[in-house]
Structure 1
Amino acid sequence: MGFVAVVDMVSGLNSPMARLVRIEVLVLLGVAALFVLLILGSYRRQSSRNAVRVSIWVAYAASIPMVSYTLGLMQSSPYKNSLFSVWAVILFIFLGSADSLSAYRLQDNDNWKRFYFEQLIHSFWVGWLMVSSGAGSDFRYVLWPIYVIVVLKSGTRILSFKLASRRSMLSESTKWVADYMTYERELSTAGEWDPVTMRGYRYVVAGEEKQRRKVEAPEYVSKLDGDDRAKAKLVTVEQIWRCSGSLLCGDGDRAGQLKDVCLSMALSKMLNRRFAGFHKLVESELDKTHDFLFRGLLHGQKYVERAFRVIEVELAFVLHKRVHVPNDELKLIDDHNNNFDALITAVLIIGVALVEGLQVYIYLASAWCKVALISKYVARESWSSRQWVANLIGCITSFKSFRSWEDKLGQYTLLKNVDYIPINFMYYATMFLVDRTKKGRKEDKRVRLSMVVKEAVIDTLRSSNGQLTNGVKSLKANGIEVFRKHSWSCTTVRTTTHTIVAWHIATTLCEVEDEEQHRMDSTTTNYKDVACSLSRYCAYLVAFAPELLPDHSFVSQTIFDALVDEATQELLNLKTLEQRCEKLKEIGKVSDMEQNGGDNRLIVLGARLGCQLLEIENPSRRWKVLSDFWAEMVLYLAPSDDARERLETLTRGGEFITHLWALLTHGGILERSTTGAGQCQNV
């Protein structure tokens, strides 16, 4: 009897009614997934939450299998009706029209040929289904034009894959910009540039794709064509700033922000060279490039806010490439609810219409649209001379878009989380698909990247004049006594990871000590906020993103794993952070007395440094030393030749260190200072 029941159940699942229900559910899920990709595909730059990333990944990974299975159900169904063709086209839209997310990871772009083949197969099956199910239907007059449009949009998505792949990262446009920058300085009078008015800065904003690719011996680089019409289509930063049209003239915030969007576009084209493998940028050694950052972008009122706004929009440009019913038709099965079929179809059509409408708004509100309109406004005198054109462009450019990035700092406190033992349920439940979490690695709640932190870092950059050290310069600036007492932590240790972890432990000891004993004024509080947030951020990089550090990621991981074991051994049975800090202060005092031949374990070095810093009696001075050190350290960590790893962070909400990396690049700072870095040996 049980066997018969199972057979009946299986037969019921394969009945025409059950098959239709499955088709309806899958099509609804397809539209829901399209919404997920559209909304969260843009939102993922603003969030590092696992729930957001998992939702996007599920919708992205399930798209092709879901469409394939549903089309198969429709094709094998004994009932042929034009409504199937409507649903098939909607699924096709889902597969090829989610502009907000072309690829989940950068590696996916390298598989563009596979996606091209899959899309070709699906377009064939959808077309066949429309022919077999929709022949003679009035729907065909609407569906075939939509089908053609979706095929074209799928082509743009495939093109996005190809252009972002490793092989195609060096596109003709990027190569042209790279060649252009080799002689850009020759286009202006020698020695005449002004980073405030942007005179002499002929960085390309738009129009490079319209230039002829003409190379000349002996350099064989692309040169500007002599054709005046081609030159007129090339829009530069200098032209944007010199434009006399009402949209861009004046010193108001609105005009300045529109100019800065174009500046971000120009900088993104220059930054793309690093992703394409150009590690040596020809302009990095020019005084003009140094002045652009230190006398231009970091000059004037609200320079901190402006600098980060320009970089944030620039990185958004880098991450995102521009991309171009009759009632008798609604009956599928006699005993199926006609009204339900009509409702399903109406919901699907409305959903797709909303998705497409939202995509149009997202584009109109995007920085891409702003740059396109402003570039034409500058290049065409007929536009810049008409007030109504300026008003129309001003209206469109006032549309609000998603925030560019998460604007938060990852945080980790070693002494608080050293005893953390992960369960790793998802690691085993997914059969090792999810990465395994190691002991001691529990991320603290992310904190907002405050203006106080930004100001501290930018002010440190300005005072450094581009000469970055691993904290040595900040110690010298706080007095010779401070330098002599604490510089060993920067000059005698083997790696940057050693320095970060030792100072992180010391900062935690100072934080707990002052929470118990001292009330602070606002200045000291700001110093403390900067020091603690950057200390926990750098520790977060060591624990969760070692690939972004100067040391090899395996070196950083090995050091950190050993440190967790050391801390676990020393702090056994101590449950509170205060108890652990008291124990480390005892260890640090003993170590300080026998430092020349004593214990050189990293947990002990951090304890010794913390005790030495606590000897600075004035809390304000102590926190200034810590604040200055961490502001300099995070700048020291930023330069890197591994542009690919920096780009990967943009898909996870962005990282502060990536923004600093881009900022330093445009000041010609591509590497750390070889003098005064203080590192004994950097692995």
Structure 2
Amino acid sequence: MRKSTGNKLSILIIWGSYFLADGAANFTIGLITSSRTSCKFIQRNDLLAFWAPFLLLHLGGPDTIAAFALEDNQLWLRHFLTLIFQVVTSFYLFLETLPSNKLWLPTSLIFLAGVIKYIERTRSLHFASWVTFREALLMEPDPGPEYARLMEVFSSKKLARLPTTISETVDVDIKQSKSAFYSLQPSGERLDDFEVVKYGYHFFKIFRGVIVDFISHNNRTKSRAFFLARNAEDALRVLEVELNFIYEILYTKFIVVHSCRGYFSRFLTFASVLVSLGIFFFRDCKNGLDNFHIRVTYTLLLGALSFEVIALFNLIFSDWTIASINKENTNPRVWTILEKYLKFRTSKWSKCRDDSGKERVTPVLLRRWSESVAGFNLITYCLKKLPKKSHEENDQLCLGIYKKTTHLLHHARKYCLEYVVEPLGAQDFLDELKYAPKKPLRKDLWEFIFEELRRKSKEADQPENIKKISSARGAYVLEEYCKKQLEGEVVLLETLKTEYIENVTFDESLLLWHIATELCYHGSEVDQDKKAQPDEVDHKFISKHVSDYMLYLLVMKPTMMSAVAGIGKIRYRDTCAEAKRFFHNKGLGPNNIGKDACENLLDVNTVVKPVQVKGDHRSKSVLFDACMLAKELQKLEEKKWEVISKVWMEMLSYASNHCRPDAHAQQLSTGGQLINLVWLLMAHFGLAEQFVFTIAGAGRAKVIVER
């Protein structure tokens, strides 16, 4: 569930279960050990010895979860020591029952299956640990051509006064890899489900290094042409498969299971549990046991068998298996079954309720990520946080009761916040549950993101262009509009670029543009009733959606923005405090809508800059600076939303490009984010910063002596 939903409560339940699992196993093995001599608890120690190996199966866990977070992978050595302790304890309990143990054979089989399961989990944690994963991507050391010897030859030829030059050649290996890859590319038609998985796996193999900052220009060459030839939907499907592979190597056992050794181990564990169940059912080894103990044993055996069946199903119908098969060498019936399964699992689009576009509606269990985009709005949040105004009541008694009840509730809420919520650090958690709703990914939003990045990728042929585009956070698109001489509004665009993007930090710019976008959204007189045509891009919706999403990342996902946020949290809190004070003074509260708040803000006279009024104050609020920005944006009239949407697109790509790779990887364990897809798409389009310092196509040099 956790890779396909970002629901906080679901993740909390999974987190609790994961961390209670090891403790439950340790407690149970201790209970069994201490109860062996207690006749009141059970009459036969051989049954206790039979139960103990089931704890190894339990600790091995299902194939779909080996680690909950990236930090668990770094603790693989601790799991290895726990493995040794549990195996020794279970084996000791088993030895003490010999030679009179009638259940020695099923106990041995369950013990074997449990050890295999636990070893698989420990190995998967080890392979996914940062050091091991990085080491696995390292190639053999390549010292390159002998520079000293080459220069010796060059110098000797020069001394002999021969016409000698050094010429670079195009690397043959690079040419061969390019031609081989281009020959694999499908036509410009829509990719079928098998091609999506195949290409997702192909790009996963060559781009998994982005997780640990291992990426080269050769990777860019192999993917850029492919994604330039695709449409937005096919690109999204391939990226989803690729992210799913990254998730599975970091958090599941699939990296260990999908190998010849893994297939044999899975067959062995399944057969061991099945044979144990058959022996216990058919052989005369239940004599002397009461019905309760028999029921417990059957429950353990059937539970273990159920998990093995589920593991076998996941093994067969996984992207790893589908990526490894070939249609020509596959049985037609098997191919038909897999084809129907992939079609059943294909992501679904459906019309929005207001018929404004299409949105993702894939069932939860069939998703490869959450397929949702969260949003958090500062104006709405500040209004809802204000106390509600009491309505005038004619009945004084009712009014008195209402005031007393309100007073008690206010004190109870204050007590909970002061002594429960804040000490536990749960305020942001509760705010996210209440004020950050998740909405399905809109198709037009993704198409806009894809087309913008594809357009910029075509301009990123030189390292200097890549650097300029990857480091742009709004200024690049405003420069483009300045070059177009947009109706003589060059001075206005230069002001927007200089004062609200270049001369401010990223977190300040994000807050400024978020509030200004909200003010324009509710306070626009030009396009209040204007709606986008079916074939037009709805820049107004995209601006609003991305604006709320970026503030959600800044406030609710600080680890994602830690590299670029600066003092974003402090600036956000100060801005909220000033907004609440302003709304309170204006008599606004939860009963008012955002439009009322925005109109009141736009009515404020902002001829003088706030910094000149406040002076050098410690407050970092940008509320009324954003009002000035909104009034400047209103001057753009018809082009306003197009400009705003493209500025937000640059901010989103800037944040995704400057987010630490481990922060991206961490988000995959809780449903994934839109910013993860943007990050991976930018790498495929060659817009990652790592490409700035690499040169493609340069082969080894050779000394040429002319006649």
Q: Specify the TM-score bucket, using the shorter chain as the normaliser.
A: 0.7 to 0.9
- Higher mean Cα deviation, 103-112 or 88-97? 88-97
2:69–2:669 contact (8 Å) kept in structure 1 = yes
Aligned twin of 1:76 = 34
Higher gyration radius (CA): 2
Aligned twin of 1:222 = none
Aligned twin of 1:129 = 93
Q: 1:653-672: per-residue Cα shift (whole Å, max 9, x none)?
A: 11111211111112322229
Q: Distance in 1 between matches of 2:378 and 2:82?
A: 47
Aligned twin of 1:631 = 649
1:281 aligns with 2:216: yes
Q: Secondary structure at the match of 1:447?
A: strand
1:427–1:436 contact (8 Å) kept in structure 2 = no
Give the AA of the match of 1:67. A
Q: Distance in 2 between matches of 1:81 and 1:430?
A: 48
Match of 2:256 among 307, 312, 323: 323
Q: Distance in 2 between matches of 1:177 and 1:311?
A: 29
Match of 1:306 among 234, 258, 274: 234
Q: Distance in 2 between matches of 1:423 and 1:533?
A: 33
Give the AA of the match of 1:175. L
1:639–1:672 contact (8 Å) kept in structure 2 = no
2:212–2:662 contact (8 Å) kept in structure 1 = no
Aligned twin of 2:367 = 403
1:457–1:632 contact (8 Å) kept in structure 2 = no
Q: Secondary structure at the match of 2:628?
A: helix
Give the AA of the match of 1:44. R
TM-score by length of 1: 0.72
Q: Distance in 1 between matches of 2:200 and 2:236?
A: 11
- Higher mean Cα deviation, 151-160 or 578-587? 578-587
Give the AA of the match of 2:229. H
Q: Secondary structure at the match of 1:323?
A: helix
Change in CA separation of 1:531 and 1:437 when aligned onto 2, cut-off 3 Å:
same
Q: Distance in 1 between matches of 2:21 and 2:448?
A: 45
Aligned twin of 2:523 = 513
Match of 2:127 among 145, 163, 183: 163
Q: Secondary structure at the match of 1:104?
A: coil
1:262 aligns with 2:280: no
Q: Secondary structure at the match of 1:498?
A: helix
Aligned twin of 2:66 = 102
Mapping of residues 667-682 of structure 1, within 5 Å: 667-671=685-689
Q: Distance in 2 between matches of 1:392 and 1:314?
A: 24
Q: Distance in 1 between matches of 2:140 and 2:303?
A: 41
Q: 1:336-371: per-residue Cα shift (whole Å, max 9, x none)?
A: xx3333333333322222221111111222111112
Aligned twin of 2:227 = 297
Change in CA separation of 1:371 and 1:156 when aligned onto 2, cut-off 3 Å:
same
Q: Distance in 1 between matches of 2:622 and 2:304?
A: 58
Shift of 1:592: 4.5
**Structure 1, unaligned runs of 5 or more:** 1-42, 194-198, 202-237, 242-248, 378-383, 675-683
Q: Distance in 2 between matches of 1:578 and 1:190?
A: 59
Q: Distance in 1 between matches of 2:229 and 2:134?
A: 33
Q: Distance in 1 between matches of 2:299 and 2:650?
A: 55
Match of 2:440 among 440, 444, 448: 448
Shift of 1:50: 1.6
Aligned twin of 1:357 = 309
Aligned twin of 1:37 = none
Mapping of residues 334-353 of structure 1, within 5 Å: 338-353=290-305
Mapping of residues 227-242 of structure 1, within 5 Å: none
Shift of 1:579: 3.1
Give the AA of the match of 2:428. T
Match of 2:16 among 54, 58, 68: 58
Shift of 1:66: 0.8
Q: Distance in 2 between matches of 1:429 and 1:180?
A: 60
Aligned twin of 1:537 = 549
Q: 1:179-224: per-residue Cα shift (whole Å, max 9, x none)?
A: 8999xx845574994xxxxx343xxxxxxxxxxxxxxxxxxxxxxx
1:644 aligns with 2:647: no
Aligned twin of 2:165 = none
Change in CA separation of 1:389 and 1:581 when aligned onto 2, cut-off 3 Å:
same
Q: Distance in 2 between matches of 1:439 and 1:562?
A: 20
2:563–2:659 contact (8 Å) kept in structure 1 = no
Give the AA of the match of 2:203. L
Shift of 1:135: 5.3
Change in CA separation of 1:521 and 1:457 when aligned onto 2, cut-off 3 Å:
closer
Aligned twin of 2:138 = 175
Mapping of residues 552-571 of structure 1, within 5 Å: 552-571=564-583
2:227–2:684 contact (8 Å) kept in structure 1 = no
Aligned twin of 1:605 = 625
Shift of 1:119: 1.4
Change in CA separation of 1:592 and 1:398 when aligned onto 2, cut-off 3 Å:
farther
1:574 aligns with 2:526: no
Shift of 1:487: 2.8
Change in CA separation of 1:661 and 1:251 when aligned onto 2, cut-off 3 Å:
closer
Give the AA of the match of 2:455. S
Aligned twin of 2:456 = 464
Q: Distance in 1 between matches of 2:421 and 2:14?
A: 17
Give the AA of the match of 1:527. H
1:427–1:433 contact (8 Å) kept in structure 2 = no
TM-score by length of 2: 0.70
2:564–2:659 contact (8 Å) kept in structure 1 = no
2:54–2:111 contact (8 Å) kept in structure 1 = no
Shift of 1:140: 2.6
2:448–2:537 contact (8 Å) kept in structure 1 = no
Give the AA of the match of 1:472. A
1:483 aligns with 2:486: no
Q: 1:604-631: per-residue Cα shift (whole Å, max 9, x none)?
A: 111112223334444xx43333223222
Shift of 1:485: 5.6
What is the alpha-carbon root mean square deviation over aligned residues?
3.7
Change in CA separation of 1:546 and 1:71 when aligned onto 2, cut-off 3 Å:
closer
Match of 1:417 among 361, 369, 381: 381
2:517–2:547 contact (8 Å) kept in structure 1 = yes
Q: Secondary structure at the match of 1:437?
A: helix
Give the AA of the match of 1:459. E
Shift of 1:331: 6.9
- Higher mean Cα deviation, 568-577 or 483-492? 483-492
Q: Secondary structure at the match of 2:115?
A: helix
- Higher mean Cα deviation, 600-609 or 79-88? 79-88
Aligned twin of 1:614 = 634
Aligned twin of 1:19 = none
- Aligned residue pairs, count: 554
**Structure 2, unaligned runs of 5 or more:** 146-169, 250-254, 258-279, 346-365, 387-412, 461-468, 616-620, 693-707
Shift of 1:89: 2.6
Change in CA separation of 1:134 and 1:439 when aligned onto 2, cut-off 3 Å:
closer
Q: Secondary structure at the match of 2:6?
A: coil
- Higher mean Cα deviation, 594-603 or 540-549? 594-603
Shift of 1:641: 6.4
1:410–1:443 contact (8 Å) kept in structure 2 = no
Aligned twin of 1:211 = none
